Copies of this chain bind each other. A is one copy, B any other.
Amino acid sequence: MLIGQLAERAGVNPKTIRYYEEIGILAAPERTHAGYRVYDESNVELVTFVKAAQRLGLRLDEIKEILAFRERGEQPCAYVRDVLRREVGEIDDRIAELQRLRDELSALDRLADAEPGPGDGDSGPCPLIGHARESPRTARTP
């Protein structure tokens, strides 16, 4: 199959396939006489795998690592588990922070309902955010 078919079957852009090849996620495939890339079912499988791994929050360089394990005939699960555990740890922090924020937010929701009116002198632009002053960093879902 050609790049367009692979892309469609895996649900990605053909450009993405070439990009994966460029960064070493996919091996350079056979070409037709005309120079067209030729793929088979295993490539569909592979791209689908990459996308699944991405959904778990893995970066392409990590996925590449994992694929290298396979290359060497090793089970990458230990590595994968490390990566995922790290990820889960990071997310735990974020979850905790968000939980805290959510509690604060609903508390302030009630507060704001009870005590409305304009004015911006005392606690910065928004008292909501003033509460976050000492909290650790929290990043955004991209």
Binding site for B on A (CB under 8 A): 45, 48-49, 52-57, 59, 66-67, 69-70, 73-77, 80-81, 84-85, 87-88, 90-91, 94-95, 98, 101-102, 105, 108-109, 112, 116-120, 124-130, 132-133, 135-142
Contacts and interface: CB of A to CB of B under 8 A. Distances in A.
Number of copies of this chain that the complex holds: 2
A50 B97 CA distance: 18
Given A136-B55, A140-B142, A124 B49 contact: yes
Contacts of A138: 55-57
A77 to B, nearest CB: 5
A138 B57 CA distance: 6
Contacts of A77: 108, 112, 126-128
Nearest to A93: B141
